[in-house]
Amino acid sequence: MSASPATHPLDPLTVEEVQTAAETLLEDIKCTAAEIRFKVIDLAEPPKAATLQHLHHKGPAPDRKARVYYHRRTSPSLLIAIVNIATRQVEKKYDAPDSQGPVDWEEFELVNNACNNHPEVQAEIAKLKLPPNARVLNDPWAFGTDDANERRRLFQCYMYVALNDDPEANHYSLPIPLAPIFDAHTLELVELQRLPMGAGDELDPETQPWTPVQPVEYSASIMGEDGFRKDLKPLQVIQPEGPSFKILGRHVEWQKWSFQLGWTLREGPVLHDVQYDGRPLFYRVSMSEMTVPYGDPRSPYHRKQAFDLGDSGFGLTSNSLTLGCDCLGHIAYFSGVRVTGSGKPVVMPNVVCMHEIDDGIGWKHTNFRSFKSSVVRNRQLVVQCTATVANYEYILAFVLDQAANLHIEVRATGIVSTMPIRQGLQVPWGTVVAPGVLAVNHQHIFCARVDPILDGDSANTIAYDECHPVINEPDLDPHGCAFRVKTTPIDRPGGYELDINKNRTFKIINEARTNAVSGKPHGYKLHPVPSQMLMMNPNTFNFRRGVFTSKAIWVTKYQDNELWASGEFTNQSREDTGLAIWAKRDENVKNEDVVLWHSFGVTHVTRPEDFPVMPVEKFVMSLKPANFFELNPSNDVPRSNQGVNKSTLHAVEPENCCRSSRI
């Protein structure tokens, strides 16, 4: 194992660093590895001021530090340590007995096994009279919150059946009406909760024998060759001269862009120190949080509300990617590191992929007199991960293009969360997506975090433009055709709403820098994803645990460590300790170090078409320059031409020839 020094203060922890952090902590607390369970070891990011001093002004590199979540095996109480890796010292150590840390794989496995092996659970399963080939599985779910006084660490184990041994058997197609609750610390059965099969909370008096039904499968081996369409021809992407990107460590350069590719267990990929043509744009761009409340009042579904970053982690649940599946073309991979319960670093290979794509036409103009065309294709760089959070998949991508746009794209796919339902019944809370299978309607609300540093100046402003018609100014506008842009700078933190009817557009501006051509301040505007916000009322736990879901736009003044929209600990949380607090501070945010947050998502009214695996729903938010450049930043992209593109012509059979071309 080589001792490689960190090359960038915001790089993820290395294997060695994770190991050092674990060892340092164990020494400090005088414990053996067997006495505690490590949950998370991730980079504790250095203060922004020191980091910028180092990156842009040759200041010293800040010390590498780790944030460690752990607990003693004898107690469920969450412990937190900040470990200085450079000095091998524990700098801070505190407990958070009222908070639950995220799920870790070890406890997940323990709960999973406890449920499967528990005699009472098995006795209940026996009542189902399952066929002999049936395998019973359970997915331990974050318990959620319906009681402000609950302090136990609980998991709700939703249970399913698989009727074969296929590694991709779709057990979500065969939910059974059992959802035992386990204490993750004691591994005791807290309640053998049964699930309603009807429209209301009432249960069958007794668990009934299972009604045989065919699962809807997606496994290629189960479906067999005849299950597939035959007429899809291969489509390949080749880059005969290699990619246009350069990678040095985790520093990426591509088409005038540069950034440091961070990664955390919580967020997955993170972009640091994003620059275009040597001009700083963003200090940090990340997906900050995502929550999924389910709109079903029946117990225990009323409690179902996952925070898939805070409870689980897009990094921790990221797939190890392989060539030819998630991307076409020439692919670079980046790995991550997690820690085992006993403090051993584990490499997570290929959790992030990077490649170029062609997104059609980037710009085009044809001179209608000369018929001469210039076309530039829209080449993009995609930095992507897939997080599998039990049944569901999120594909998160940062997409850069040559017109200096930065897009954050989410594709929602995977298998919708399923509940059993009496066959033939419909309930108002969702759609029957397969026989005996209810997919409850739910919301996914994401929150992206954009920490700008336009032109390298920490003092930026968030403002919004609105377009208003000129009204009742007949001298100015006798024909009533005029409209004006009204710009409102935001000077106080808070949550703000989109307003499409006014074309309200939020933008980051640097009031100190004026565009030489337009005379307007340098800026980047947000193209949002207009979405229904959280439907639940402010007095619900759904709302109080994730206040970010209530407004599309949030503005806060930067403070170190304020990275996650709902606060640090979301698992079984009772109150949001993030934006709910930070956005309430009475402080100036105009011409300050400011952070822009965008909440967006979807209210998913489920369809049979979403089952067994759901076709992607794609959401794209974009950051686009507005008066930041003096002309189209992609004006200098080489023009598209057949010599390079080598497209091929579809020969039309004479008898099928486009008839109109016969002159």
Angle at 289 between CA 168 and CA 295, to 5 degrees: 70
Q: Under DSSP, is residue 608 helix (H, G, I), strand (E, B) or coil?
A: helix
The residue among 301 and 558 lying less far from its own copies, judged by its C-beta, is 301
- What Rg value do the Cα atoms of the chain yield, rounded? 27
The residue among 76 and 452 lying less far from its own copies, judged by its C-beta, is 452
Cα(62)–Cα(53) distance, rounded to whole angstroms? 9
Shortest CB 229 distance to its own copies, Å: 5
Shortest CB 163 distance to its own copies, Å: 15
The residue among 76 and 523 lying less far from its own copies, judged by its C-beta, is 523
Cα(458)–Cα(455) distance, rounded to whole angstroms? 9
Shortest CB 255 distance to its own copies, Å: 7
Could you confirm whether 392 is annotated as catalytic?
yes
Shortest CB 487 distance to its own copies, Å: 10
Angle at 336 between CA 8 and CA 237, to 5 degrees: 100
Cα(178)–Cα(408) distance, rounded to whole angstroms? 38
Shortest CB 379 distance to its own copies, Å: 7
Shortest CB 636 distance to its own copies, Å: 5
Contact 342, 34 (CB under 8 A): yes
Cα(485)–Cα(507) distance, rounded to whole angstroms? 13
- How many Å is the maximal CA-CA distance in the chain? 91
Contact 459, 591 (CB under 8 A): yes
The residue among 336 and 567 lying less far from its own copies, judged by its C-beta, is 336
Shortest CB 327 distance to its own copies, Å: 6
The residue among 192 and 375 lying less far from its own copies, judged by its C-beta, is 375
Could you say which DSSP state residue 194 is in?
B
SS (H, E, C) 128-175: CCCCCCCEEEEEEEECCCCCCCCCCCEEEEEEEEECCCCCCCCHHHCE
Contact 189, 182 (CB under 8 A): yes
Take residue 545 and report the two structure tokens written for it.
């645990």
Take residue 28 and report the two structure tokens written for it.
């400090």
Cα(235)–Cα(249) distance, rounded to whole angstroms? 31
Take residue 551 and report the two structure tokens written for it.
């407004």
Catalytic residue among 11, 104, 139, 308: 308
Shortest CB 178 distance to its own copies, Å: 19
Number of alpha carbons in the 13 Å side-chain half-sphere of residue 608: 5
Contact 416, 434 (CB under 8 A): no
Number of alpha carbons in the 13 Å side-chain half-sphere of residue 86: 11
Shortest CB 661 distance to its own copies, Å: 4
- Shortest CA distance to 187 belongs to which of 229, 142, 227, 152? 152
Per DSSP, the residues of 401-423 read: ETTS-EEEEEEEEE---EEE--T
Catalytic residue among 392, 464, 524, 558: 392
The residue among 146 and 587 lying less far from its own copies, judged by its C-beta, is 146
Could you confirm whether 308 is annotated as catalytic?
yes
Sign of CA dihedral 218, 220, 223, 229: positive
Shortest CB 37 distance to its own copies, Å: 20
The residue among 76 and 420 lying less far from its own copies, judged by its C-beta, is 420
Task: Give the H or E element holding residue 633.
Answer: none
Cα(238)–Cα(355) distance, rounded to whole angstroms? 11
Could you list the active site residues? 308, 392
